Amino acid sequence: MTAPNTVIDTAMVMAAGHGTRMRPLTNDKPKALIEVAGKPMVDHAIDRLKDAGIKRIIVNIHAFADQMRAHLEARNDDSIIISDETEAILETGGGIKKALPLLGDKPIITHNCDSIWVEGMGKTLPRLLERFDPDEMDALLVVAVTANIVGDVARGDFTMDAAGRIEWREPASVAPFMYTGVQIIKPQLFADIEEDAFSTTKVWRGLIEDKRAYGMRHDGVWMHVGTPGALEEAEEFLRDL
């Protein structure tokens, strides 16, 4: 359970990517502005975070940065802060590192813009906030059972023990859990990495080795909207609800 002095009120929406796998839909707009169920993906992420009580939301921008800036500013919401990566794409880890002056020292939620889901028995983000224990965990990832995924499904990312600690999938094997693109993580973990551009997996490796990375199972249906085909699957699934 989150310690009383560790109120998590800041999040970062990862929205800088080119969305190359989503072409041709991203030939003239950023992936984050592609609509799912009539709403841009970035707005799905922002609205869920605000519904969960998050007070400050940093959004990184790079691809079609002018479009992203105009869209975010049109929301007229002082809680949304832009982290400008127009000079270079920094990947997920590098994006967090660049935004450190905006993020503060407390744990944060990070939310990939293409992570769309239907809730199960309980709302995912409040459950995540309740489950996080900063004394025991440096990162808590929302993971989905591969059988409950709509859209792009690979061979899974992780296994998970009874306590919730995650381990990487073994080579040439499958694993039951896939990262949904949503986590709580301590931002200071990114401060000492020398590279400017790097993936968050670089941080996870050490946390998994130290038994400080945990997973929380998403109990609804997660949609990985990474390609036009996956977008069609997600739209069809949502229409049938």
Predicted confidence pLDDT, tens digits, the chain (241 residues):
554 446 899 999 999 988 888 899 899 999 999 999 899 999 999 999 999 999 999 999 999 999 999 999 999 999 999 999 999 889 999 999 999 999 999 999 999 998 999 988 889 999 999 999 999 999 999 998 887 787 666 677 788 899 999 988 877 667 788 899 999 999 999 999 999 999 999 999 999 999 999 999 998 888 888 889 888 888 888 887 6
Burial of 133 (0-12, 13-18, 19+ CB in 10 A): middle
Question: Does the residue 5 lie in any domain?
Answer: no
Tell me whether strands 56-61 and 10-14 are parallel, antiparallel or unpaired.
Answer: parallel
Residue 179 lies in a domain: yes
Residue 167 covered by a domain = yes
The CA distance from 51 to 53, in Å, is: 5
What single-letter amino acid sits at 105?
Answer: D
Closest CA to 124 of 104, 99, 142: 142
How many separate domains does the chain show? 1
Residue type at position 190: F
Question: Which amino acid appears at position 98 of this protein?
Answer: K
Instruction: Give the CATH number for residue 189.
Output: 3.90.550.10
What is the domain range of residue 191?
10-239
pTM of the model: 0.91
Number of neighbours of residue 161 by Cβ within 10 angstroms: 11
Reduced to 3 states, what is the DSSP secondary structure of residue 199? coil
Q: 3-class DSSP state for residue 103?
A: helix
Residue 202 covered by a domain: yes
Residue 2 falls within a domain, yes or no?
no
